[in-house]
Structure 1
Amino acid sequence: MSHPLIFPMAAHVAWTACLYVLLTAARAPAVWGVGRRPDGRNPWAKFEPRISANLSNQFEWPLFFHIACVWLILDQDRGGLPWALAWIFIVGRVLHSLVQVLTANVRLRGIVFTVNFLAVLAMWAWVLARAIGQ
């Protein structure tokens, strides 16, 4: 039987893969000429650096999410709180991506990131509480 934390981890991997596809599509007019405007411009030029930056973000703070999940899986912790926090993190990651790629609203992006950040910190508090309690 699989551990419930595998699913939010897989969701993050899938989301990151989607961002790679989106970045490839955004770069296609410049790299391969596919989808280029008649005047030669890339219609996605505005979004390409935002997608690229967001994709880089998927390998920063999420690293701590995945490490906490692996520890909890190895510890065979099936508690509901880490599972809920993991899904809060995933929803927050998707929202963070959408805000970063589709808007220039840095304040909203910061708020969404803070939710992600706190969810992972809470997961680590859970990990540490379990480690100390053993």
Structure 2
Amino acid sequence: MTVQSVLLPVFAQIALTFFLMVWMARTRFAAVGAGHVTIKDLKRDWTSWPERPTQIAAAYHNQFELPVLFYVVVLAAIITTQADFLFVILSWFFVVARLIHAYVHTGKNEIRARFKAFLLGAILLIVLWVYFFLKLFIGL
């Protein structure tokens, strides 16, 4: 596999993270501009944000949990030249699961649907790591 094809899902995951960061900033600035929260409120209590900016911020912060392990396995697979077609497919499935998770989280935020999307991503990430391990140490 080419480095570009292995890294493309990483760029997609990073794009999701940056998108959520900008969206979070816009909703936070809008909340301050609309007077829903004041700078003085925020100086002493970050929980003062209204629900919508908090919801988007939570989705943004989630991008620094499971995806960190995704970045590590992709980097390790590139360095050890263990990334193949199945590895890239699993990477894309993981990114799609993260997109679904973010969509649910920033939408209706239905906990069961959000958990299912999270669990799907977690399982895919575990499978990705196990596959990498087997390729590296067993020669799969």
Alignment of 1:84-123 (within 5 A): 84-123=89-128
Whichever structure has more helix as a proportion of its residues is: 2
Displacement of 1:75 in angstroms is 1.5
Distance in 2, matches of 1:47 and 1:87, equals 29
Displacement of 1:85 in angstroms is 0.8
Query: Residue 41 of structure 2 aligns with which residue?
Result: none
Displacement of 1:78 in angstroms is 3.6
Q: Which moved more, 1:49-58 or 1:2-11?
A: 2-11
Query: Residue 6 of structure 1 aligns with which residue?
Result: 7
* 2:6–2:74 contact (8 Å) kept in structure 1: yes
Q: Which moved more, 1:16-25 or 1:95-104?
A: 95-104
Query: Residue 67 of structure 1 aligns with which residue?
Result: 72
User: Structure 1: which 5+ residue stretches go unaligned?
Assistant: none
Structure 1 vs Structure 2 CA RMSD: 1.8
Distance in 2, matches of 1:121 and 1:107, equals 21
User: Structure 2: which 5+ residue stretches go unaligned?
Assistant: 38-48
Query: Residue 18 of structure 2 aligns with which residue?
Result: 17
Displacement of 1:41 in angstroms is 4.0
Distance in 1, matches of 2:84 and 2:67, equals 20
* 1:54–1:100 contact (8 Å) kept in structure 2: yes
Query: Residue 77 of structure 1 aligns with which residue?
Result: 82
Identity of aligned residues (%): 26
* 2:3–2:78 contact (8 Å) kept in structure 1: no
Amino acid at match of 2:19: C
Amino acid at match of 2:57: S
Amino acid at match of 1:51: I
SS at match of 1:5: helix
